[in-house]
Amino acid sequence: MKIIKRSGQEVAYDISKIIAAVRKANNSVVDAEKMTDRQIDVIADNMIRQCEKMNRSLSVEEIQDMVENEIMNQRAFTVARSYITYRYRRALVRKANSTDEQILSLLECSNEEVKQENSNKNPTVNSVQRDYMAGEVSKDITKRFLLPNDIVEAHEKGIIHFHDADYFAQHMHNCCLVNLEDMLQNSTVISETMIDKPKSFSTACNIATQAIAQIASSQYGGQSISLSHLAPFVQVSREKLRKQVRLEFDRADLEMDEEKINQIAEMRVKEEINRGVQMIQYQVITLMTTNGQAPFITVFMYLDEVPEGQTRDDLAAIIEEMLNQRIKGVKNEKGVFITPAFPKLIYVLEEDNIHEDSKYWYLTQLAAKCTAKRMVPDYISEKVMLELKGDVYVCMGCRSFLTPDRFTDKNVGNLANAGNYDPKKHKYYGRFNQGVVTLNLVDVACTSGGDKEKFWNIMDERLALCHRALMCRHERLKGTPSDVAPILWQNGALARLKKGETIDKLLYDGYSTISLGYAGLCECTRYMTGRSHTDPTATPFALEVMERLNAACKKWKEESNIDFSLYGTPLESTTYKFAKALQKRFGVITGVTDKNYITNSYHVHVTEEINAFDKLKFEAQFQALSPGGAISYVEVPNMQDNLEAVLTVMQYIYENIMYAELNTKCDYCQKCGYTGEIQIITDKHGKLVWECPNCGNRDQDKMNVARRTCGYIGTQFWNQGRTQEIKERVLHL
């Protein structure tokens, strides 16, 4: 097996080093207090057994904690004190300059934890390394100067997770819905260059991609755009192309035939839509932001977002092309078409496209084909979302939803000075999320020891801690001048504020949200009730937990006029961090802490046998109680030859749940050309690795794997905890 050093580097487990450390502590005490050689051998044997039982790479700190316990089990308390004192002195030395080793290991690409932190960042690329280096410095400043000690301590113990601490030192927010309509219709500025209203659809697409890259470099979360904001420019191109065709007829001295002119113009419109959509797809994938990755971009496809008639038909044509190009995929370095991570696509199921006799049913069939091959789009039910939120609007790609617009109803006015503001319409584009702090529900349960009264008391204490941490995020954004990110705050993406004006008014009245995340409801319920939260006798407890979390958000909102909202956290690397912290604090508890991951948000445990329809129906009640963000998924096999089943699931989503997705597999082995599902196996060191089932290739650099793990599709592999979770997923269909 292997261990992870403090620098993040993964090395072979060497029991001789542990024995040497124990002997050193043993030799430092008087003879009467020393352990025998036999006792030291027992410690070594116990350590080997414990480490193998954990089924993952342990950190140096975890190993040392085990050593302390083993010495005390031998009742050699003086030796234990010597060992603990040595650890403490070494910790003080390291703390004097805590970031050096981390940064050096980043540069040498030997930091296993960082390499697996983000499944859409390649840690060997200079720009990613630069971002990670800056992140290490930012985290160090954040922990030492910017956050209260108890919040830092709770974060490091895995009691809460203070998200994106590597960006906290800067005045940056999380994610947003881009007001692309305002930028395109009323001009914008990109890199101090005025960009006028585009004169064609393809130009609008080009401007959109340039804006996307700039926005991604000005915040740390994802962004969402709507194709409805591009649709009006199809008509602009149509009119322009009709003029061109007429001119060509005139120059060729041909008889003016309006029908033929329009027919030729429509052919060229279709070609331009093709070029524009291709530009979005390829530029988004190939653009690299300042943090060394493609922009985390979500594209919204909602027919009813534009008026019925030509504009809606044009939007349908754009959606059709977007789906067709995504089905095709993009070429990898071998020239083979594979599944790209971005842009993420969201398709709204509505009355105009959900039934076989619906006008746009053909688009839904195409969406099903795309899902079966490329894992996207995800699906929002217009019917259910209207019931839950009263409006239909896009979420951020990670699943974060804004609260329904209330500042318009309060007649607060055009807070953002948007050029497309309409007091008669609810506003969503131009709004954003201030940040996230996640509560580890499993830790609350385990700390309570199963006592429900104690559980609720601890819950209240932890919620108070989360509230203070969230207010740290809010206060960090207060006073931020619009000049820090002109494209966001001055040039229309989020607002059109004056130079030097602060963004403070956008932090209140519901314009932006701030998210209380939660994780591990499944394991929390199992610990407190002895049953899965899908068990009818345990479900009421799980629902009560959700109601308590919502009540806290409501109370904070009333006190501050800040829109706190409950968010089903899509843990990526943090699922492993929480699991390790729980094992360290409470040991291995069957069904609770015995995995190297904990379950995202309210989800049914990945190992639980349940069919797709029951899973969606069950989780729908929790989506209703997770207004700040929620998504449900069903794990399915290769469905490319069974599109009827995909369509059946989509129709079920429309009737029963607000937001859902289907997880399929379409991997590629660059060594042998295999396409299908790359498997996860356990190697001789007990580590989970990816292996081609056809040729046995285990080189991650020579395979293309795509899995959905946190809302977005990841393509750069994952840590051991998340990899175990992926391996253990059961099929729901």
By the 8 A CB rule, do 728 and 688 touch? no
Residue among 703, 534, 559 nearest 622 (CA): 534
Contact criterion met (CB below 8 Å) for 432 and 494: yes
User: Which of 83, 347, 511, 567 does the annotation list as catalytic?
Assistant: 567
Catalytic pick from 433, 532, 550, 596?
A: 433
Known catalytic membership, residue 172: no
Mapped onto helix, strand or coil, the DSSP state of residue 406 is coil
Q: Are strands 378-381 and 344-349 parallel, antiparallel or unpaired?
A: parallel
Determine the Cα–Cα distance for residues 490 and 496; give it in Å rounded to an integer: 4
Q: How far apart are CA 150 and CA 55, in angstroms?
A: 31
Distances (CA, A) of 705 to 118, 423, 505: 14, 47, 44
Q: Which residues, 6+ apart, have CB-to-CB distance to 630 below 8 Å?
A: 399, 401, 567, 568, 601, 602, 622, 623, 658, 659
Place of tokens 């290991």: 105
Give catalytic status of residue 703 as yes or no: no
CA distance 422 to 266: 32
Query: Is there a contact between 627 and 715 (Cβ–Cβ < 8 Å)?
Result: no
- Pick the catalytic residue from 7, 26, 138, 174: 174
Q: Respond yes or no: is residue 35 known to be catalytic.
A: no
DSSP 3-state assignment of 204?
helix
H or E element that contains 15: helix 15-27
Nearest-angstrom CA–CA distance, 430 and 394: 12
> Active-site residue 237, yes or no?
no
Amino acid at 444: V
400 classed as catalytic? yes
What is the rounded CA–CA span in Å between residue 304 and residue 315?
10
In the annotation, is 711 catalytic? yes
* Beta bridge mates, 344: 298
User: Beta strands of 363-464 (E only): which ranges?
Assistant: 378-381, 433-440
Q: One of 70, 572, 619, 661 is an active-site residue; which one?
A: 572
Catalytic residue check, 176: no
The label of the residue with tokens 């308590």 reads 548
Nearest to 398 by CA among 121, 65, 661: 661
Q: Are 373 and 601 in contact (CB under 8 A)?
A: no
CA–centroid distance for 49 within its chain: 36
Q: CA angle 606-610-616, nearest 5°?
A: 90
Give the pair of three-digit tokens for residue 521.
């409801």
Residues 289 and 334: beta-carbon distance below 8 Å: no
Choosing from 396, 459, 472, 522, which is the catalytic residue?
396
Is-catalytic flag, 398? yes
Catalytic residue among 7, 237, 353, 400: 400
Yes or no: say if 587 and 623 are a contact pair by the CB < 8 Å rule.
no
In whole angstroms, what is the distance from residue 570 CA to residue 722 CA? 12
Annotated catalytic residue within 51, 172, 175, 703: 175
DSSP letters along 570-625, please? --STHHHHHHHHHHHHH---TTTTSSSS--BTTPPPTTS---HHHHHHHHHHHHTT
- The answer to whether 304 and 383 have CB atoms below 8 angstroms apart is no
398, 446, 522, 703: the active-site residue: 398
The answer for residues whose C-beta is within 8 angstroms of residue 343's C-beta and 6 or more apart is 280, 281, 284, 297, 298, 299
Query: Can you list the alpha helix ranges (DSSP code H) found in 165-288?
Result: 180-185, 201-216, 232-251, 258-286
Q: d(Cα 17, Cα 20) in Å, to the nearest integer?
A: 5
Q: Compute CA distances 496 → 26, 156, 174, 208, 499, whole Å.
A: 68, 39, 19, 17, 9
Amino acid of residue 665: K
Has 370 been annotated as catalytic? Answer: no
The one catalytic residue in 292, 711, 714, 721 is 711
d(CA 212, CA 209): 5
Token duo for residue 482: 């619009």
Torsional sign, CA 630, 636, 642, 648? negative
Catalytic residues: 174-175, 396, 398, 400, 433, 567, 572, 711
